[in-house]
Structure 1
Amino acid sequence: MKEIAKVSLQNEMDLILSHRRSMKLAELAGLSLSAQTTFATAVSEVARDVIDNGINGYLVLGIYTATPQKSVAAYIYDSRTNLSLQAPALQNARKLVNRFQYTGTPEASCIEMYYHLPTVVRQLDQKITEWQEQFNYDAPISPYDEIKRKNEQLQELADRLKASENQYRVLTNALPLIIFTLNRKGSIVYANNWMHTYTGFTPDQINTANWKQVLHPEDYSSFYSLLGDIVTTQAGNLKLQCRIREAHSGSYIWHQVFVAPLQEVHRPDDYFIGYIVDIHAQKEFEQASRDNTELKATQQRLKENELELTQKIHQLNRSNNDLEQFAYIASHDLQEPVRKMIFYSDYFSKQYAHLTDNKGSIYLENMLQASHRMRNLINDLLSYSKIRKEVTSFEQVSLQKAAGIALQDLELTIKEKQAKVTVDVLPVIEGDFSQLTQVFQNIVSNALKYSKEQEPLQLHIYPETDNTGMVHLHFKDNGIGFDTRYLPKMFTLFQRLHGKDEYEGTGFGLAICKKIVDLHNGVIDAVSEPGKGADFIVSLPETQNKKQ
């Protein structure tokens, strides 16, 4: 179906919008007035049921072009998974359209309704584009419609702004200097990780003490005057050299502080951006050789370093784009040749194996196994690259349900291994359901892979809670275990404690788990001894608000 319009279903006003837009689309598609009314009535029947009884419902209107019989189509989605098709509203709607279809998943339900177009519409694709533009740019049909459109635009803008902020945070945290923003009161609004790493204090702690705990006493008055200047002057960039205490050594190191107004069209001079650069080496040189001609060269090099820093920022942006391109290549261009290698190697092995000697057969088998390993590696790399903060959606997640789905996916392997997996009652926390399900699946799969040959696996999954708002999930098994000295290595990409000939795998499973747990503001750890099993512990906050 080619989408034309979309309406969320929350209240009576949304019901009116869905009816009017259904009528309008049916009219544009050339249906008669009675057919328009019939189609819109069917849509309204299902929409009302979703508004009255559903969860997070919405309507998608469009044109179905997949078959010779083109149709006006309406898809109504509902987060309920126990939708009753015997409801009177759904039964009435079924009688009003040419085709009525239900599809369901463990997460949502969808009612599809189709009303056939009476005649062939010429240049249908062009008309669909025109209808889409008409729905997007037509004047609102009511004040509620206008407010709803504005709200959707604001939500889209907020999502884009959040993504931009995340990119900015990643960039500033990657740079080896302190970057911060100030409000008109001189208080820190944002600071990258380097401020806490270098000074040992959080921005809130620095604001509370007005920078006294990090500045050299002799430089404090001049620095505090700088903060006063930014709220009273309309000047451009402000610069100051001062000594800042390094938390690791306790020494005061010379730094150059730059502060400039962050100009905005509607709120000029409300915020100020600054960065702090280590110039200790330069200051020592100036003190020892103040009249030396090399001083000017050093100052020139500082300017060049500033220019180089700007260039590196652009390079970092290009690197992010390169990473996105790499993910695309891995998902498309790399997989196709690997599939062909596997296909032709397998075909050659089956059809021409009798034409090769024993050594040739061994080489062919090695090539086929290498192709399978390459395919698994690409798939795991893709899975790892798809786990990003901007696509992580936090909601109430039943860990019991996530564990059940993971065990169901591994059912055949569990039976083959004759493993016994017991799961205690698990709580509900705030998180991303698909990602947490993947954590269960990867850790259980890891336990199955590293079970003892002569002893069936026994895996016990159980929770522990404390008064800090954290849930500690234990995955305790009786497998081969490992030396905890290698624990950091286990959570790193491409790292394995065993050779590929001993145990299959690409080394991505636990690295994916760690990335997911990090995105959930949690911690993953393990306790183990060689030959005595392992206990993987995943600690997750009950609610994300406490950690953000």
Structure 2
Amino acid sequence: MNGATTTAAHAEDVATSGELLQALFHDNPDPILVVAQTGYICSANPAALETFAAPSLNGLALADLVAPAPDGDEVTLLRRDGALIIARQRIQQVGDVVVHTLRDLSKAAPAGELRGAFILWTALQAITEGIVIYDEHERLVAFNEAYVRFCGIGGVVPRQGLSAREMMIAWLASGGAPVDADEGLREVLLERHIREMRDPTLRSRVMPYAHGRWMRVENIRTPNGEVVGIRADVTEQRETEMALERQRFDYKTLIEHIPDFIVRFAPDGTITFINDNFARFIARDPESMLGRPVQDYLLGGESDPLWQALTKLTPGEPIRKHEELLKGADGQEAWIFWSSIAAFADDHLLEYVAIGRDISELKLQQQRIEEQSDELQRKNDALGQFTGTVSHDLKAPLRHVSMFSEMMCEDIARGDFASVPVYADHLRQAVRRMRRLIDSLLEYARIADRIVAPERVSLREAVDEALVNLAEPIKDASAMIEIGELPEVVGDQALLARLCQNIIGNSVKYRRPDVVARLRIWSQPGPAGQVRLIFEDNGIGIDPRYAHKIFEVFHRLHRDESLYPGTGIGLALAQRVAESHRGIIELDATYTDGARFVVTLPGLSSLAKKDAATKSLA
């Protein structure tokens, strides 16, 4: 052997020896402190850190932690939390450092106790169940042969000195966690197992291991703080219980949840059962769907509301319910009420069950109830406004009649007839105004009580009818009216013509002096198939502060009837017509060149939906 070979072999031996020394230092159960010539600690093994209850001892003075005791080689260890420990110390000089090996005398056992422990340990070896013991610091101190064999099934190697956390990480890796579990889920499972070990109960727990096997886990804490664990393989028992549980679940599902649609599938979405009703709805053969992913048959795939509801189920919330509008193979839409159910064994998902029921008829009934409620609310609003108007607006002309009648009587009684014609004229005006108010209220009430029979209505024809009725005032005002392309809507043509007439009439009436009145009527698509009918003029405009007040009965912004005659009922009638069509009318407060009213009405699509629903009920 030449010199180079000898040097290399020596270096390898030194490296191997260094690794061995490092392992002995790190895994030694006794605390070891490496102290420099200065008296300060430069290294400490894990046992020392645990003994002194400190995350690190480097840089601390040995004298602050180890105090000589009166009895020879015994010392007193000063823990960081103030506790004192009596230990035996062995000192070795290694190069430039001194190694202090400490032995906690409080843990030493008398000979009698050792013999008792030996007898107990011999008995434990005869037990067929795995026995493992952790000390008060959660380190593995003892286990029997059965536990070694038990660990071998899962590929786990027990070793004295390992922490409980290290052992549980090994168990999770051996099949104690789901195959697709990410680091976050593994950490959650680890913390739960640690928590159960620290606060054990006599209740046993069954958990998976070895990728397909099951074990029963029991933890018992002794008065001294140790934890005794009992482990037993219960795979056959567990499989039998799971089979029985599935049978019981099948029976309960079929008996208690008789539905229109039933689908069962594995956690990954593989269909295991589908009934004929659901297969017929989507025009599929039930047999051909078995073993296929259910996502392939859902409209939204992985994003479908049904699949999303199922994947959110947990042991704490194993059932969810939601409604979904589905389209069948024949193109007909149906509202389905889904009950999504997940079956769990402990925290492990077994299967999904989706139960769907057709509630289309119930939805139509709810829609009718909502429509009737809206209609009733409109009638109540009309009644409320009518009552308020009777108590205020109708009393005004009556007060005039009463006042001028009394004045007329007083003058006649005095023989003064000069003012009687004037009083009589005021009486006639008050009566005429009251007649106009009463006529307006009757017209308003008739519209409020009218139930609309929906039909196709041409908005252009409704506008043209309004223009014919307003031909004279439009001619007198020399108003210019521009009409864009107007679509068809669903409603009552006579009422819509009246709505257009009231808005156009206001545009002509409230024009600017010495300015040619211009009115533009056009439309644009609205939300959900609705239509927006827009009236835009260059008149005097409306203060945005009164955007809602102008639709109240008899509300007038201009009191001078000689300049702007009327009762203040026009826009209230227009609003009532819009609401009777389940639409709205609004003042566009952003428009500043005059007034712009936007009327939103149902488009033809709403009529088509209602016809389809009526046919489905028939």
Q: Note whether the superposition's TM-score is higher than 0.5.
A: no
Q: With a CA cutoff of 8 Å and minimum separation of 6, indicate the structure with the bigger relative contact order.
A: 1
Larger gyration radius, structure 1 or structure 2: 2
TM-score, reference length from structure 1 = 0.35
